[in-house]
Chains A and B, each alone.
Chain A
């Protein structure tokens, strides 16, 4: 179980705790296609972390099953299973007595990699998370900032090239600027590595930004909706989902698309405020409002006018 991404299939996975009538996760069935990020979101008590921890069996499955690449997680030796799954948590959990390099080398060493192979891999990963190995290899966690620590946590989880990653609110404790930077870094790394990632967050905006698909759980561990961010925002399944997405879900939907993706109206000598093609629809709408206009001239990569976008075409997208 290493290298290539594998599909994760929850098959009526249920978690019951003794002495409690209601399960924490109820018959969760969803499939995360190989190489995609699935964000689990929901209010607290919705069982999102429980659902995630059933994958590497930090929490035992009561009923149902979870399969990774077709193999039931229950059929594997638990330590072997966990060594094949990258695990990132909010508090990072770096080993304070080990250098950055030793932290990252944890799983490769457990797997018995050679010294040269491990060292080479550690350096490669530190470079991947943009902590130059030369500067950071020998540092201890206490000498790092919060953002740097989580970068090391990410490198450590990626060390043995697991096909599957579990991330439990990894950026939840970071300041907004660092969080945004790490979110984009994760997307960059994911673009390169194509892991299958289960990402728990309570932040719907984070889920929309990162998730290829989003699973919204409601209290009692019931799946409310599982869909792509676009489909979720455009067609929430019920009142709960729509409330969870927020009253600005129309704007969130606009934020997912860019002017380049629209069929523009012909120029016809139109003039007025301009916007670059890479502008999101949300920003374009904002620009119209602040400029007091109902249309913008869209420029192409070379800065030449390419067409016109109107307020009507924006509202059509959101409808």
Chain B
């Protein structure tokens, strides 16, 4: 199942052969800027973009599912236990085992990867959205009811906006952990920053391992920072409290 064999004869190498590069590459020093320059557009940049795509897709789908489940549970408490248990079980399955389970069904496809990645976002997103919805103070809800807001109006105008901070906290964890986890996608499909890492591991080619790893870490930091900025923009009332 793991497409990590050497370049298949006749198809040529999957990545440019780094055996004939500069002295730095030949000696396999820790970091060779010339290799990065030569392989940025061919290998690293596409892998980074694929990684971003895998992450966004997983978190977006996970968010939609978790959001729906949280709304349902907010209305009907009896769904909470089964949903939490399901999400927790999914969360505890090791990713390698999950791939093993899924490949016979969905094959070596993006779907296999996404099902796994989405599965890992559910617990954190669901719990945080629900916690956010429940964080609305009772006096706020009573005032809303007393003023004649319907349940739906209360949900959309009061509860959901007030659930934003907890939801964003969940999104940050989900995004960062998905970015880390998506490197494992390379076990199933030749995509994402995990792929160049696997290739380079075979040869113990330090520069590629280092650069791909650093890109994954950098991506996680940038994504987290963007989410912090988004949260500030979405919750001006919290900013004012900080200033007050």
Contact = CB atoms under 8 A, between A and B. Distances in A.
Interface of A: 56, 58, 78-85, 87, 89-98, 106-107, 110, 139-143, 153, 156-157, 166
A89 B161 CA distance: 22
B148 A82 contact: yes
B52 to A, nearest CB: 31
Interface string B142-153: 111111111001
B73 to A, nearest CB: 22
Contacts of A87: 143, 146-147
Interface string B131-146: 0000001011111111
B142 A140 contact: no
6 contacts: A56-B146, A58-B146, A89-B139, A90-B139, A107-B148, A140-B236
A194 to B, nearest CB: 22
Interface of B: 137, 139-150, 153, 157-158, 161-162, 235-237, 240-241, 244
A87 B143 CA distance: 7
Query: In this complex, which of B149, B153, B235, B236 has the most chain A Cβ atoms within 10 angstroms of its Cβ?
Result: B149
Contacts of A85: 146
B240 A143 contact: yes
B143 A83 contact: no
B147 A94 contact: no
A107 B241 CA distance: 25
B240 A96 contact: no
A83 B143 CA distance: 11
Given A143-B240, A143-B244, A58 B147 contact: no
A93 B149 contact: no
Contacts of B139: 89-93
A97 B235 contact: yes
A106 B147 contact: yes
B145 A82 contact: yes
A140 B241 contact: yes
Contacts of A93: 137, 139-144, 146
Contacts of A98: 237
Given A142-B237, A142-B240, A143-B241, A89 B146 contact: yes
A157 B143 CA distance: 10
Q: Which 3 A-B pairs have the closest CB atoms?
A: A93-B143, A82-B148, A91-B139
B65 to A, nearest CB: 25
Contacts of A79: 148-150
- Listed residue (A83, A89, A90, A96) with the most chain B CB atoms within 10 angstroms of its CB: A96
A83 B237 contact: no
Nearest to B149: A110
